[in-house]
Chain A
Amino acid sequence: TQLLEQSPQFLSIQEGENLTVYCNSSSVFSSLQWYRQEPGEGPVLLVTVVTGGEVKKLKRLTFQFGDARKDSSLHITAAQPGDTGLYLCAGTSSNDYKLSFGAGTTVTVRA
């Protein structure tokens, strides 16, 4: 069973501050993804990382995949109220086709 642990569970910050969300597992993943979900909607993909040590940037968001492909982080610089939402990490392993999700981090950015 792939178990993805996200931390923290909740994060409330002021506009302009930085934040980091973590996703950890004891399993090795062939790819790891970050999704953002808004209330009443399905999750929407932000990024996919596939190579150990990979760093991807999406405007103010920076995603990193651990060297051993067991963990990942999402860093938001100068957060804005529009960044508010539930952030979910998800992973697939090379030996099955499951797409497993972490429990999510609820981010609230106050204006």
Chain B
Amino acid sequence: AAGVIQSPRHLIKEKRETATLKCYPIPRHDTVYWYQQGPGQDPQFLISFYEKMQSDKGSIPDRFSAQQFSDYHSELNMSSLELGDSALYFCASRMDSRFGNEQFFGPGTRLTVL
């Protein structure tokens, strides 16, 4: 069965650079969530999209932006990278067809900021 695809899987950037992370949800899933997981920490919700519109916003820094495209894939754009942005970034997708439907997580993108 198709799963959530994230690219790249690993990314190394330097301070003040920009990065773009991509997420391809499971087919027919219309909702995408982004999470940030620092070393030894639980995932923190950043932002979510439903039908290409932002549906909820969490602890996403102003330096980050995201969008969902017409094919439902999503991109997380990160600018002016800081050392503290080094983390595992997860994308999850969900089909908003019934109450409480599960989020399926991608494998994550490990971002290292040097």
- Pair from one complex: no
